[in-house]
A and B are shown apart, each in its own frame.
Chain A
Amino acid sequence: MPTPIVLTVNGQRRPLDRVPDSERLLDTIRWRLGLKGTKEGCRSGECGACTVLVDGVSTLSCLTLTHEVDGASLTTIEGVAADPVGRNVQEAFARAGALQCGYCTPGFVLALVGLLKERGADASTDELLTDLGGNLCRCTGYLSIARAVSLLQREGE
């Protein structure tokens, strides 16, 4: 029987029982915690739609076993607004119209928040865009997403 684990999810302590060893963090978040804002795309690390923050680091939840992150602090799209960086990113995406169908959007937002936290205010737009290159979007053609990133940078200056 798997051991119980504890996650801090968007600031709330969430003890979890009977999580199978093979359960992916993506499924724990969506079906056990009921946070469907984290999206399932390819389930194989190719699209980035399932990106969340694990202890502040952007992480593909489809390639992460829940047991691997026992004790960690998670941020999902539902909790991203609690942080000023998260709120700024959401605001920049809204202002730049950097979304269409919205399915890749939570993954992009979390990936960008993770990058900003990792790299701080010094990161250039180009660096950020290079590092966002693993997130796929089929609707926007990425240019509005790039504009959202440059809006953020301007505000940071």
Chain B
Amino acid sequence: MTASPRPDARPKLEGSAVFGMDLESPGMLWGALVPAPVAHGRLRSVDLAPARAIEGVVAIGAADLASLLPGSSGDPDRPVFPTDTVAYRNQPVAAVAAPTRELARQAARAVRVEVEPLPVVSDLEEVFPEWPGPSADSSPHVAAHVRAREGDVEAVFRTADTVVREVYRTSSVHQVALEPHACLAEVGDGKWRVRTSTQSPFGAREDIASLLGVPEESVVVEGTWVGGGFGGKGSALLEPYALLLARAAGRPVKLALGYREEFLLGRTTLPSVIRMETAVAHGRIVARRVRLLLDVGNALPGRDFATGFAIGFLLGPYATPAFEVEGYAVRTNKPAFGPHRAPFAPQCAFVLESHLDHVAREAGVDPGAFRAAHLWKEGDRTPLGQAVGPFGLAAAFEKARAIAARWRAEAGPDHGVGVAAGFWSTGTGAGGEVRLLLQPTGLTVVQGEREIGSGSVLAGVAAVAARCTGLPRDRVTVAYETTARAPFDSGVYGSRTTAVLGRAVEEATRMLFADLGRRLGLAEPVPRLAVAEDEVVVVAGTTRRPIREVLTEAERTGDGLVATGRHYGKGGTIDERKVEAGAFYPFTDFTGAAHVAEVSVDRGTGTVRVVRYAAVHDAGTIIDPASASAQIEGGVVMGLGTALTEEALWSEDGRLLNAGLLDYRIPTLGSVPPIEVTFVEGFSGAGPFGAKGLGEPPIIPVAAAVALAVRDATGAHVTELPLSSERVARALNLL
């Protein structure tokens, strides 16, 4: 192991890193949420008196909002506490705070909540057992409807050689960040201050301001170390309740979820039903129809992002001359759909790869060669008309097929090998800014994100800054400031952080070098910095000037030389003429991976074991090799959970039945195969030095690769996720 340790290794290995769960403040109270007892109903009354009768307890409900938030109505579409209808089980209907955590829980249980039950819709197939007709748009269960087309699909289907029609189902999966949501709120001096475990301090600030109906400037969010995010900590969840309790109590309030609550209240990936139809003529795809029903839980009508986004991943990354795509976001009595590492893309890849593999088999052509022949390459257009940028997926897929051929030749009985492609649009469209401080001792990058574990902030941004300036890594510090002082950034999500903040660092470095050039009386910016005799020097031609000689007295004794940089990228454009309803989204960077799984399948039980795995990625220029490999290993293993064991089960009355780590099974140490990580190079991305994001792509092809390996091993064509022993056994006619 030659790589230098992660910059955050020491605080995490010594126990000094303070996470949201660890926050404490003198005199603080503990908060607890009062859950709705049913998944759907009319709220008759919320009686806080029994809780308030307990000494030291503060309790708040909808009726208290007017006095806690004078002159504000908050977001009328998203009331902090419901006033008339309960929309999902455990929806917070009130909140309490008490001097101890145990007392807070007792107080929450003491609140009397009366709800007149209404029929619960837990399963989207109860709403739409068949593909919905034109009247669906007026259904209260439809949060979004998207539709796009190109050509006359029905006519092409009539004349094709082969038409394959299938239905797939995918499960609800949870992020399972090991640290539950937690925050500590304090209110005073006209400020709403909250320290919180968040992937997006500025996003949380915006959310809190909107939910409470207060100005953004009055909200100060300070991020803590984050014990895993995976999308689940991207927007405000507990912060508004904690702040309102702190306001009511006049004291700091800590609010932390128990792990069961973490499952119950988490906004995550929900089930889907996907109908896939593909027509082939002369070995080529000639037309496709894709119909998606996506459960979005309590998502607000008009605010669904997932459906149109998902359709893009069900269409691509394959050339498709004629198509009809349509999707409905279906509201059910569950917490709202929320992001989970590459939201819904692993499910889309599972469906698309399994389907096209099946189509190729039905058409009598080689499934790998069939998919390879249709993969997008740079210069192609997506079905929705966007030009494809530098994209190494086809190259990665070729490499993966070669690995698969080798493994297949070696595979024993009941073993099988699957190859799957997946792609992603990294979120370089969401902007960010940094502030550089150059001092004689080194460079500090001031920014507004906390490290969530991927390395994107502390390792990625530092590596970019070192490469931009010429300074060694140990002379670069990445510093965090709260939303009150940091330059803006959108959040650590969407595989965007190193790419966007890195581009901002590039721009800030240009400003810095121009400034240094002027100070040295040069006509041009200085080319780089270096370290000589233990201090930072400017290098220009043959001269080396110590930075301390270039700084003013005020800079020397203060922050140093300051330069700012920002990056607000933009995505491509789609051909809106193809869109008939709803919103589809252009991609901002084309990132892809091809994975190979070798499995063994127990012929008696249907149990699948992944015995080895290879991941070939196009991530553009690799900025920090250690972090890049670590992201791929972690993402693959998370994907193995989606593939094999992870499934949140909802009862008919809207209960989450397996809200715990014994019953909702994530991968454990003993279940992990060796993983071979490689990259294809030469496909430049929108990030610094041609980097592309890498946080999400590694999870995308995993379930697909495993499913195709199971098919290769046994012939079983499983059309539902996860590939539990039971599902595989059914496909093998063992049950």
Contacts and interface: CB of A to CB of B under 8 A. Distances in A.
Interface of A: 30-31, 34-44, 46-47, 49, 76-78, 81, 90, 93-97, 99-106, 109, 129-130, 132-147, 151
Interface in B666-690: 666-670, 672, 674-675
Nearest to B638: A138
Main secondary structure of the interface of B (DSSP, over half): loop
Contact of A102 (B12, B24, B633, B661): B12
B17 interface: yes
A40 B15 CA distance: 13
Given A100-B634, A151-B1, A38 B15 contact: yes
B455 A100 contact: yes
Contact of B258 (A43, A94, A103, A129): A43
A76 B15 contact: yes
A141 B178 contact: no
Q: Which of B9, B178, B637 has the most CB of A within 10 A?
A: B178
B543 to A, nearest CB: 39
Contacts of A132: 669
Contacts of A90: 13-14
A101 B452 contact: yes
Contacts of B230: 138
Given A39-B19, A41-B259, A129-B669, A141 B14 contact: no
B630 A42 contact: no
B432 to A, nearest CB: 21
Nearest to A131: B669
B626 interface: yes
Given A36-B15, A78-B15, A101 B9 contact: no
Interface of B: 1, 3, 5-6, 8-19, 21-22, 24, 175-180, 225-230, 256, 258-259, 452-455, 626, 630, 633-638, 660-662, 666-670, 672, 674-675
A141 B179 CA distance: 16
A42 B259 contact: yes
B225 A102 contact: yes
Given A42-B259, A100-B455, A77 B661 contact: no
A97 B259 contact: no
Contact of A39 (B179, B630, B634): B179
Contact of B670 (A81, A95, A130, A140): A130
A140 B8 contact: no
B662 A100 contact: no
Contacts of A144: 630, 633
Contacts of A34: 24
10 contacts: A38-B15, A47-B661, A93-B13, A99-B6, A99-B9, A100-B228, A101-B179, A102-B12, A138-B230, A142-B668
A143 B13 contact: no
Contacts of B21: 39-40
Contact of B19 (A44, A99, A103, A130): A103
Given A47-B661, A132-B669, A81 B227 contact: no
B453 A47 contact: no
Contacts of B672: 141-143, 146
A153 to B, nearest CB: 14
Given A100-B634, A101-B453, A139 B5 contact: no
A147 B1 contact: yes
B633 A37 contact: no
B14 A136 contact: no
Given A97-B1, A101-B229, 12 more contacts: A43-B259, A44-B661, A97-B5, A99-B8, A100-B453, A102-B13, A102-B453, A103-B19, A138-B666, A139-B634, A142-B637, A142-B667
Given A102-B225, A141-B637, A47 B14 contact: no
A129 B670 CA distance: 7
B626 A141 contact: no
Contacts of A81: 14
A35 B16 CA distance: 9
Given A46-B660, A101-B178, A141-B637, A109 B6 contact: no
Contacts of A39: 19, 21, 178-179, 227
Q: Which of B18, B452, B661 has the most CB of A within 10 A?
A: B661
Given A132-B669, A141-B634, A103 B22 contact: no
B12 A105 contact: yes
B14 A78 contact: yes
A97 B631 CA distance: 11
A101 B226 contact: yes
A130 B670 CA distance: 6
Nearest to A146: B669
Contacts of A129: 669-670
B640 to A, nearest CB: 8
A93 B660 contact: no
B1 A95 contact: yes
A43 B263 CA distance: 14
